[in-house]
A and B are shown apart, each in its own frame.
Chain A
Amino acid sequence: MKLLKPTWVNHNGKPIFSVDIHPDGTKFATGGQGQDSGKVVIWNMSPVLQEDDEKDENIPKMLCQMDNHLACVNCVRWSNSGMYLASGGDDKLIMVWKRATYIGPSTVFGSSGKLANVEQWRCVSILRNHSGDVMDVAWSPHDAWLASCSVDNTVVIWNAVKFPEILATLRGHSGLVKGLTWDPVGKYIASQADDRSLKVWRTLDWQLETSITKPFDECGGTTHVLRLSWSPDGHYLVSAHAMNNSGPTAQIIEREGWKTNMDFVGHRKAVTVVKFNPKIFKKKQKNGSSAKPSCPYCCCAVGSKDRSLSVWLTCLKRPLVVIHELFDKSIMDISWTLNGLGILVCSMDGSVAFLDFSQDELGDPLSEEEKSRIHQSTYGKSLAIMTEAQLSTAVIENPEMLKYQRRQQQQQLDQKSAATREMGSATSVAGVVNGESLEDIRKNLLKKQVETRTADGRRRITPLCIAQLDTGMNATSTPAALSPSVLTTPSKIEPMKAFDSRFTERSKATPGAPALTSMTPTAVERLKEQNLVKELRPRDLLESSSDSDEKVPLAKASSLSKRKLELEVETVEKKKKGRPRKDSRLMPVSLSVQSPAALTAEKEAMCLSAPALALKLPIPSPQRAFTLQVSSDPSMYIEVENEVTVVGGVKLSRLKCNREGKEWETVLTSRILTAAGSWDVHRQVVVVKEESLHSILAGSDMTVSQILLTQHGIPVMNLSDGKAYCFNPSLSTWNLVSDKQDSLAQCADFRSSLPSQDAMLCSGPLAIIQGRTSNSGRQAARLFSVPHVVQQETTLAYLENQVAAALTLQSSHEYRHWLLVYARYLVNEGFEYRLREICKDLLGPVHYSTGSQWESTVVGLRKRELLKELLPVIGQNLRFQRLFTECQEQLDILRDK
């Protein structure tokens, strides 16, 4: 072990509260007190690691300093990707920093040091929520969340993908929260506070998993920080300051049952910080010795107020090393290098120490694959989902494949070079603006400066912009080429809107409109007789305000004499006027439609108890069509609203549907529920006729909350329990297309397979029926809570369902979208069999034969075209190069034919 105290790492004698090494190991950040503000400094790592670099004047030691924090910085943490740095301080703020590419070197103006910042780090987000000093911040594995804790007793979980969105505020501590750590598999987050407790929270629902208090009973709130740590294998959580027999310890908490049987003893004062080595080690295998597989173990550094540092291996009973008197004051933070062989320790005395271990001392670190295998075997899942490493050795067999791979690499390169170009321009931007050197600009600045007079006669100078800022978080991360299949088709179905309909008024409002309604008094009377028992109930019906909308696409309607229509309108009005809205009982009215198809349909429909229904078509236009929802279920009361909207060239008139409460239905469930009839008048075809809803409505007190027709004339029915069914005319069945409580949908995680973030916005009937639940945090939560294998299966099932649903709804855009997502997921996860099935179906028989059942199109899309779209997706994974080649060749053959 080597020990070094680089004296040049300091905040001018001011305390350093936090240190963190960048994941790439080239730099590290310190946070602490500045002159009269908080201070974050980014340092070069190489002068710490190598003496030569330390002596070399040309190698900068300090890369950047930021004194934007108003008060002392308590914590600095790099994101796992290394892209961002988060800092939290006494000013109650968390700042997220990103390397700025556009801006040239600068200094902190007015600082005593004249050192220019070598790297430019700009604050991209300021997270304001805490009402007290921020004590610790922590990025979750995979950087999905950022957690912060504060003396305001809360822990806040921020959505790291969408700052400054807050996903959860964890309340429960009754004292200053001074430390945070994430579980390496992301299932939990633990916090330690001055209230003598350590709490473990679930990331699934952000609720408290357990609160551990026993080891902390004797603790006093004397430490500045309580930085706890979770072991990389996930087995142990080690607390900061705990007490055992009035001696300070670091408590070991087992994940299994949160048992507290062991602790690290030996420090004479409170433990301030515990930090696990990111690596898992195994014993070095000596040549010749029996290859007895030893248990993997972890390594942990413990820092204390007693100014000493101890390093422990979980396989040893005693510490590996203890260093006393390392600092003059308490140790504040510890950070391991990613390779696990070095530690940086910082202290309140303002200095930093670096410890360098050799592999002989610690053991052989396990590779990332082995580590993820441990996670996989212990927790059934791992965060390393894709293991690209094994594939890198594969031989590319097909030039086309090579092309795709190259193109992919090219894209990555382009991104990189774009980034470096920006870097390059960053250095030159100071020199050149619009082809002019800064010197020229400065010379002519006064002459060229635009000066105007404001209305009140004051001088106004327009400043010369010398550099622009990239203000976005991900300004350069998504090139347009990566999102080729963003599907945005205009929605063909009106979104649901609540409205109140006043029937009578509306019928008056559009006199002369060719209303296609007529009353059949016989039916009314018959119904009266039949439903005498229930005559009171329709009143409730009218009063009940749970309503939903109906949409009626317009198309051709048969011609009717105007006079007759008016007459009919009058009858409707009379009837309506005849009974005040609330107090009289509802007159059930049967309805007939004056179009031949519908007329016959009406006869066939045999409404057992027809709801009051009247239809009024809004605009006298020659292009008319309508759909009627006639339900024999008397609990449904449908009114036609004369509001017209034009969506995508199709006029829609809204129907209003009033539903009744439970009572009414329980009487009815014993009866036969003959179905909602729905006529697609446009095609003069009866789509749904006397289909029983019994199968889907059976037994329970569900009601139909919404019925709508897609533009392809597929009736879709939403039920009150969140399920949606669509009618499959060819099979005469109701197919489930959406279920709000579907656990599949909630478990499925295919975010990585989406072409881009925007693709979630793929619109169409399916999206409207299912609603958009693209809560990334929610999905990320699932990612951490479900074993990976289970998740794969559910995701596959969910995606298959989506494809099937889009197919039944005949929504071609959505079918294409979901098919692509499905294929991309299969490619990413490496499911060859299913992928092959898809390709086979899309390709069809290469040689035409009459006996073939294969159809070349699906919902209006040419299957082979779809396959062509799929090919680049398949080409992304080398594992499928044979499949890629096969499809490619066969498509070529087909094209040549």
Chain B
Amino acid sequence: MAKVSVLNVAVLENPSPFHSPFRFEISFECSEALADDLEWKIIYVGSAESEEFDQILDSVLVGPVPAGRHMFVFQADAPNPSLIPETDAVGVTVVLITCTYHGQEFIRVGYYVNNEYLNPELRENPPMKPDFSQVGPVSTSCFPQGRSLYLGGVQPFKLRVKVTS
């Protein structure tokens, strides 16, 4: 059984302008005290075409984790627009929250991010060079991918892939 499972992820300040930081309020449950910290990451998928445009917005250690329910806010700066391919700047992309323990990823929660111009005029006629100051990301429908952590048991790690939405 999973020793750590995510109970909820709430997206704070949603929607908000492109340059404002991402804020996720994460609550998780742990059935046994963990010896080491959990590492959480926020990954912004710059382009659906290639992983090389993925930006790790932030990574943070969370601990100590005794048995029980816990909550924390994970805040990360907005992605660096210069690293995003111009063609993928506006439109729907994905932000991922992952959790690893001892280097092994076991939780992956994904959110769709819809970057669009707030100004209807710009929406109709998007400029050649994307103007990120006008973009407001909208995060929607989560799709957690794996939510199991095995510690010290006989069972090997097994990443469950669960894609909904």
Contact = CB atoms under 8 A, between A and B. Distances in A.
Interface string A174-205: 00000000000000000000000000000000
B139 interface: no
B5 to A, nearest CB: 7
Nearest to A125: B1
Contacts of A91: 155
Interface of A: 35-37, 68-70, 91, 93, 95, 103, 106-107, 109-110, 112, 122-123, 126, 128, 441-442, 445-446, 449, 454, 458-469, 471
A530 to B, nearest CB: 67
Given A446-B23, A460-B60, 20 more contacts: A35-B162, A68-B1, A69-B1, A70-B158, A107-B7, A110-B142, A110-B144, A442-B25, A449-B72, A449-B73, A459-B60, A460-B63, A461-B60, A463-B65, A463-B71, A464-B72, A466-B71, A468-B66, A469-B69, A471-B67
B5 A109 contact: yes
A466 B66 CA distance: 11
A445 B109 CA distance: 21
Contact of A460 (B7, B61, B67, B162): B61
A832 to B, nearest CB: 49
Contact of A465 (B9, B32, B70, B75): B70
B160 interface: yes
B154 A128 contact: yes
Contact of A445 (B25, B154, B155): B25
A68 B1 CA distance: 5
Contact of B7 (A37, A106, A112, A449): A106
B103 interface: no
Contacts of A70: 148, 155, 158, 160
A458 B62 CA distance: 11
Contact of A469 (B9, B64, B67, B155): B67
Interface string B16-54: 000000010101110110000100000000000000000
Contacts of B70: 463-466
A458 B71 contact: no
A68 B61 contact: no
Contacts of A469: 29, 31, 67-69
B66 A465 contact: yes
Interface string B97-128: 00000000000010000000000000000000
Nearest to B26: A463
A442 B154 CA distance: 37
28 contacts: A68-B1, A70-B155, A109-B5, A110-B109, A110-B144, A110-B147, A126-B1, A442-B25, A445-B72, A445-B73, A449-B72, A458-B59, A458-B61, A460-B61, A461-B60, A461-B62, A462-B62, A462-B64, A462-B72, A463-B28, A463-B71, A464-B71, A465-B66, A466-B27, A466-B68, A466-B70, A468-B66, A471-B31
Q: Which 10 A-B pairs have the closest CB atoms?
A: A110-B144, A463-B70, A467-B69, A460-B61, A68-B1, A463-B72, A446-B73, A468-B68, A459-B60, A469-B67
B2 interface: yes
B155 to A, nearest CB: 7
A460 B58 CA distance: 12
Contacts of B158: 70
Contact of A37 (B28, B60, B69, B160): B160
Contacts of A123: 1, 31
Interface residues on B, range: 35 or more
A382 to B, nearest CB: 37
A464 B63 CA distance: 10
A174 to B, nearest CB: 25
B57 interface: no
B83 interface: no
Nearest to B61: A460
A36 B162 CA distance: 7
Nearest to B64: A462
A440 to B, nearest CB: 13
B143 interface: yes
Interface in B136-165: 142-144, 147-148, 153-155, 158, 160-162, 164
A545 B7 CA distance: 63
Contact of B2 (A68, A441, A467, A471): A68
Nearest to A124: B31
A441 B71 contact: yes
Nearest to B27: A466
A356 B148 CA distance: 40
A444 to B, nearest CB: 10
Nearest to B40: A461
B6 interface: yes
Contacts of A449: 72-73
A459 B7 CA distance: 23
B8 interface: yes
A38 B147 CA distance: 14
Task: Output the residue of A112, A441, A462 with the most chain B CB within 10 A.
Answer: A462
Contacts of A460: 37, 60-63
Contacts of B164: 110, 112
A439 to B, nearest CB: 12
B71 to A, nearest CB: 5
A459 B61 contact: yes
A70 B160 CA distance: 9
Nearest to A453: B61
B75 A471 contact: no
A110 B162 contact: yes
A109 B1 contact: no
Nearest to B163: A36
A458 B32 contact: no
A468 B67 contact: yes
B153 A445 contact: no
A763 to B, nearest CB: 33
A16 B75 CA distance: 42
A461 B72 contact: yes
A36 B8 CA distance: 19
A471 B3 CA distance: 12
A464 B30 CA distance: 12
Contact of B153 (A69, A110, A128, A468): A128
Given A110-B109, A446-B75, A460-B61, A126 B67 contact: no
A510 to B, nearest CB: 49
Contacts of B8: 106-107, 109
